[in-house]
């Protein structure tokens, strides 16, 4: 990664698929991002701040990230995707970092987790860099065998970190 990533703003995707802030350039946004997020809400629930976000740099959407569903059983899953042509700039790390901060600010008692394909890859690097530990292989209903990465809840009395957005 080398250089520091550009400043990233996370813009919430609302229940109806619009964004909480006007984004100057949505032309580069993959066409399925907003409808897919609305479908995710319909299937799994809409509970701010545990929603989907567009990652925006200088008025342009550069990626998307989300909580896969509202928290359940003391856990919440994160996911992130950097749009093509924007990889390798530290954006995935910044999106994941911001999702963790949002979860910690709202519910410091949550275990935050993510799934990756087994084996080395960019997401493994992102999650390791943020302090997640690999808990092993789990059987994901849509993706089959995946690695589950976990970041334990914040211990009582410890600082929660910077502002999430």
What confidence tens digit (pLDDT) does each residue in 20-73 have? 777 666 666 666 888 899 999 999 999 999 999 999 988 888 999 999 999 999
Are 147 and 126 within 8 A, CB to CB? no
Contacts of 69 (CB under 8 A, 6+ apart): 40, 44, 45, 50, 76, 77
Nearest CA among 122, 70, 77, 92 for reference residue 10: 92
Query: Partners of 75 in the beta sheet?
Result: 72, 111
Say whether pTM exceeds 0.75: yes
Q: Per-residue pLDDT averaged across 80-88, rounded?
A: 86
How wide is the angle at C-alpha 83 spanned by C-alphas 79 and 72, nearest 5°?
10
The dihedrals phi and psi of 102, each to the nearest 5 degrees, come to: -65, -45
- Res. 80: pLDDT tops 80: yes
pLDDT tens by residue, 85-123:
788 788 999 999 999 999 999 999 999 999 999 999 999
Q: Which two tokens stand for residue 147?
A: 């690695």
* Cis-peptide into 49, omega within 30 deg: yes
59 against 156, higher pLDDT:
59
- Res. 1: pLDDT tops 60: no
State the pLDDT at residue 162: 46
Please tell me the CATH superfamily of domain 9-151, with its number: Gcn5-related N-acetyltransferase (GNAT) (3.40.630.30)
């Amino acid at each position: 990664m080398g250089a520091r990533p550009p400043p990233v703003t996370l813009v919430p995707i609302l229940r109806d698929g619009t964004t909480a802030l006007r984004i100057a350039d949505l032309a580069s946004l993959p066409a399925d991002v907003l409808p897919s997020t609305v479908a995710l809400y319909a299937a799994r629930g809409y509970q701010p701040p545990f929603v989907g976000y567009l990652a925006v740099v200088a008025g342009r959407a550069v990626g998307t990230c989300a909580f896969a569903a509202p928290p359940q059983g003391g856990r919440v899953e994160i996911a992130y995707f950097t749009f093509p042509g924007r990889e390798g700039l530290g954006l995935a790390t910044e999106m994941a970092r911001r999702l963790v901060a949002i979860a910690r600010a709202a519910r410091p008692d949550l275990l935050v987790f993510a799934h990756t394909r087994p084996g080395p890859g960019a997401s493994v690097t992102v999650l390791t860099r943020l302090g997640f530990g690999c808990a092993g292989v789990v059987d994901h209903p849509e993706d089959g065998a995946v690695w589950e990465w976990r970041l334990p809840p914040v211990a009582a009395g410890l600082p929660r970190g910077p502002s999430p957005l």
